[in-house]
Amino acid sequence: MLRTATLIAASLALQAMAQPTDLIVQPRQSNVSAQLCLTPPGLSTECDVSTSSITGMLTVELDTYDAATAITLHDFLLAFSSTLNYNMDWGFFIGGVDIQLADVVVSYATPGTPTGPVVVDGVGDFEFPLVLALISGTGSYQGYGPVMGGLVGSGTFNLADFGVVD
């Protein structure tokens, strides 16, 4: 009888460790750097990076919660706290483009379909090779200079129009 109770308790403990867990993102400790690159026809690629703190949550499952060696992603929703600002400049004779992204929210495109598991290394780092996401928010752009000012002009766009991204 004692052996059966021990096996049942061990089985329940293993099941509890294999359950997805919600992790709340702490904005004072979490940020994202997002790179944006543009390659207009006939011109070089220009890139810029913008950084924002983030809030939100992730739902993950670890193989064990005391010394994880594998992690599976179940869901996430991350909201950028700041507007992202980018400047791509091809020089005085060409000009450039300024882009702003506001109210950016990135969410898991396939909730209910886990991604992973992937390996967690000895220091707790891991990397998912491909995660499908949806992005919402608004963007605006303004071209400037002799070429880009007239060619690009200015306008706004909806980030959700890009559909599923990875």
* pLDDT tens digits for range 63-102: 988 888 999 999 999 999 999 999 999 999 999 999 999 9
Nearest to 96 by CA among 149, 49, 44: 149
How far apart CA 113 and CA 30 sit, in angstroms, is 25
Q: How many domains does the chain have?
A: 1
Give alpha helix (H) positions in 93-142.
none
Cα 51 from Cα 28, distance rounded (Å): 13
Measured at the CA of 142, the angle between CA 141 and CA 147, to 5 degrees, comes to: 130
12 assigned to some structural domain = no
Whether 24 is in a domain gets the answer yes
- CA–chain centroid gap for 53, Å, is 12
9 three-class SS: helix
Residue 66 lies in a domain: yes
Q: Check whether 132 has a pLDDT greater than 90.
A: yes
CA distance 124 to 63: 13
The percent of residues above 90 in pLDDT, for the chain, comes to: 75
CB 104 within 8 A of CB 79: yes
Average confidence score pLDDT of the chain: 89
Q: Is residue 11 part of a domain?
A: no
Q: Does 146 reside within a domain?
A: yes
| C-alpha radius of gyration, the chain, whole number | 22
Residue 98 lies in a domain: yes
pLDDT at 17: 52
Q: What is the model's pTM?
A: 0.81
Q: What is the mean pLDDT of residues 132-150?
A: 96
Residue numbers of the domain that contains 114: 20-165
Q: Is residue 135 part of a domain?
A: yes
Does 89 map to a domain? yes
The contacts of residue 150 (CB under 8 Å, 6+ apart) are 143
